[in-house]
Amino acid sequence: MKLTEYQPTGQLRPFIKAYRIIESDNEIINRVVPNTSFALAFRFKGQITYLDTNNQQTLPSATFSGLRKTVRLINYAPKTAALIVLFSETGASAFFKPPIFSLFEESVSLDNFFHHSEISSVSDRLAETEKFEDMIILIEKFLCSKLLNDKPDYLVQEAVNRIHSSCGSIRISKLADDLCISQDAFEKRFRKVVGSSAKQFSGIVRMNEIINKSPSLESLSTIALDHGFYDQPHFNKEFKLFTGLTPTAFFGAASYW
């Protein structure tokens, strides 16, 4: 699998974290662990399938995915390629009218939000475009046409920053108090902008912080306790939901992004 990354330009910088073009010459199963970005995927070659314990589902050519707390296994058929839009943590809500928190743990066809003919046109044009740079120009033009709100919510952005600074271990009641807003009002505002509850978001940040440390198995118990897990069984259960593997298997051999 080959991954090429591009940065957003102009007015999209506050809302888009990055664009990724994924190419797979051979069939591969990619382990996608939860992260803090909504993702929009345009498949312009081949076939992509979502695998779970009960069945497999072929994903549409344009798929919009919400935040998750569980791993996804994505099968790329041979000669498959897709362009992924990774939104900033407060960016996706600027483009979509429906409440995006309803997409937690969900991936849906983009034509649930925009006209099918428009999505098909973008997908067809991507398939006909040879240069990746021209694909990015095409996608940015599409995204700019869908931008509904170009004014960031600075309170929610500050909350996101503080959750990251605490490695996901901050108490939500304290966070709301520190931002001078009631917890109920804060939660509603956070869900509307970020697409998850503050507690769910903190949990994703916390587990990613642990994974990014690439800890040795000997130090894992200490690191888990430092990040708020009250015992090893609790951590192991959450870790397996998050990655699909035990810590031993994941750190030993997992390939993921």
Residues 60-78: tens digit of each pLDDT: 999 999 999 999 999 999 9
CA distance linking residue 152 with residue 93, whole number of Å? 10
In terms of domains, do 160 and 123 share one? no
Closest CA to 165 of 199, 209, 214, 226: 209
Give me the chain's average pLDDT, please.
91
In terms of domains, do 114 and 161 share one? no
Residues 66-123: tens digit of each pLDDT: 999 999 999 999 999 999 999 999 999 999 987 899 999 999 999 999 999 999 999 9
Provide the pLDDT for residue 252: 75
Mean pLDDT of 11-19: 95
CATH of residue 99: 2.60.120.10
More confident residue, 125 or 219: 125
In terms of domains, do 94 and 20 share one? yes
In terms of domains, do 182 and 229 share one? no
In terms of domains, do 130 and 167 share one? no
Mean pLDDT of 244-253: 83
**Which residues form the domain of 237?**
214-257
In terms of domains, do 59 and 168 share one? no
CA 14 to chain centre: 16
- Look-up of token digits 């076939």: 47
Cβ pair 39, 100 in contact under 8 A: no
Residue at which a domain ends, from 146, 174, 192 = 146
3-state secondary structure of 37: coil
CA distance linking residue 179 with residue 185, whole number of Å? 11
In terms of domains, do 101 and 58 share one? yes
Binned at pLDDT 50, 70 and 90, residue 220 comes out as confident
Give the count of domains, the chain. 3
In terms of domains, do 37 and 139 share one? yes
Mean pLDDT of 127-155: 94
Provide the pLDDT for residue 56: 84
Provide the pLDDT for residue 135: 97
In terms of domains, do 133 and 27 share one? yes
Provide the pLDDT for residue 27: 93
- Residues 6+ away with beta carbon under 8 Å from 26: 78
In terms of domains, do 45 and 133 share one? yes
Residue at which a domain ends, from 212, 232, 249 = 212
Provide the pLDDT for residue 218: 66
Mean pLDDT of 198-225: 85
Residue at which a domain ends, from 129, 146, 163 = 146
In terms of domains, do 109 and 23 share one? yes
Cβ pair 135, 89 in contact under 8 A: no
CA distance linking residue 257 with residue 241, whole number of Å? 16
The alpha-helical segments, DSSP class H, found in the chain are 116-128, 132-146, 154-165, 172-178, 183-194, 198-212, 220-226, 232-243, 247-253
Task: Rank 194-203, 205-214, 236-245 by mean pLDDT and report only the highest.
Answer: 194-203
Q: Is the pLDDT of residue 5 over 70?
A: yes
- How would you list the strands of the sheet with 72-76, edge to edge? 28-32, 72-76, 48-51, 56-58
Cβ pair 64, 110 in contact under 8 A: yes
CA distance linking residue 102 with residue 98, whole number of Å? 8
**Could you give phi then psi for residue 26, rounded to 5 degrees?**
-115, 160
In terms of domains, do 70 and 134 share one? yes
